[in-house]
Amino acid sequence: MSDFVNIVEVGPRDGLQNEKNAISISDKVQLINRLSNAGLQHIEAGSFVSPRWVPQMANSAEVFQQIQRHSNVIYSALTPNLKGFESALTAKADQVAIFAAASEAFSQKNINCSIAESIERFKPLIEAAQKNKLKVRAYVSCILGCPYEGDIKAEQVIKVTEQLLALGCYEVSLGDTIGVGTPHQTKQLLTSMLREFNTEQLALHFHDTYGQAIANQYVALELGLRTFDSSIAGLGGCPYAKGASGNVATEDLVYMLQGAGLKTGIDLDKLIQAGHAVCKALSRNNNSKVANAMEPSIREEA
């Protein structure tokens, strides 16, 4: 197995979209530039959705225009429909992402349609992306539990993943949206999925509501997966899931990977500085345990 782990930084999109305090365009741009300078190679920089539903993402086009792009970094955008894709194309996003769910109830609450209807909606978007030579990544929510349906069967996750890959998505990011999954459950699900898919086709997206995210990621690592989503300073949450806290913190993930002798190409000190800066801009606490533990030593070195 490869000793390099690819981290998809979702803080500027999935993290910020659920933050209550508004953040300026300049602070968003500074955050993305700091993440690029820290060594992240894939940053989800924004989303092109209705500003009525997600006000924090209303200025994504301006953010894409103002960031300092690194040639080795992918700057992607979430695009729920063809209109969103066209906006991402105009903004010169390097990749786009779509999102579905393994739960029918969550799909209805989140995007007001069934899973089957959501898959149909994605077809013209993916066709347009292929014509424009842009890769499409997919998210599947609620892989280990749903706030409305409870437990989710592996067969449901497998079916949706299969459909998304068949449409032309190069990778499916499996999301424990409300953070209820345990390492044992993670191992059971991934063992089933790896009978159907290659490790290169799957990524993991864990929320840390019950403090299980790092342990779940380690289980996935042992099963051979090498792509993980995370959010700087543990920003984020899920507006449709009561009590769901933020994504696993990128700082905590990098610390764990370094401790396992795996490579990320990321400078942890610069990453921690980026996290503290955005938390200051948001007037909120940093949810990364590693960032809070290492902050004094970083200040001494500075």
CA atoms within 13 A on the CB side of 69: 14
* DSSP conformation class of 51: T
10 Å CB burial of residue 295 (0-12, 13-18, 19+) is: middle
Dihedral of CA 118/212/170/10: which sign? positive
Told to judge if 238 belongs to the known catalytic residues of this protein, a careful annotator would answer yes
Strand partners, 44: 76
CA-to-CA dists, residue 117 to 102, 107, 129, 172, angstroms: 13, 10, 19, 18
Query: Mapped to the 3 state alphabet, what secondary structure does 213-263 carry?
Result: HHHHHHHHHHCCCCEEEEEHHHCCCCCCCCCCCCECEHHHHHHHHHHCCCE
List the helix and strand counts (H, then E) for the chain.
11, 8
Set 142, 146, 169, 238: catalytic member: 238
* DSSP conformation class of 16: G
Of the candidates 69, 56, 52, the one whose C-alpha atom is nearest the C-alpha of residue 13 is 56
- Could you list the active site residues? 238
